[in-house]
Amino acid sequence: MENLYGVFQLSDEVACTSASVPTLNICNMNCAGLIDDDITDDVACLKTLLSQIKPKNIVRVAEIVDELFGGRCNSVVYSKYFTGCA
């Protein structure tokens, strides 16, 4: 089971390594770095993840959110939050 870390609740299956699950470790960091008082690495990791994915539209953003948060945002109405972004 995945764990979520940091201010952006990034998955250890995708963003970082926690040694508890297999990971892509896209941010090339230990997840412990996402739970300290310095959010600089949290922001850098999120930017790295988004640059790897390069969203093109609202549907793609919804897929990204699902990937990053492991389906925990299934009840979110993305069009409500991203109106005017596409």
CA 38-4-14 angle, 5° bins:
95
The mean predicted confidence, pLDDT, of the chain is 78
| 10 beta partners | 5
Tell whether the model's pLDDT for residue 7 goes beyond 50. yes
CA 2-41-34 angle, 5° bins:
35
Domain residue ranges of the chain, discontinuous segments joined by +: 4-82
What pLDDT shows up at residue 49?
Answer: 87
Q: Is the pTM of this model over 0.75?
A: no
What CA–CA distance (Å, rounded) separates 61 from 59? 5
DSSP state string for 34-70: GSSS--HHHHHHHHHHHHHH---SHHHHHHHHHHHHT
CATH topology of domain 4-82: Lysozyme (1.10.530)
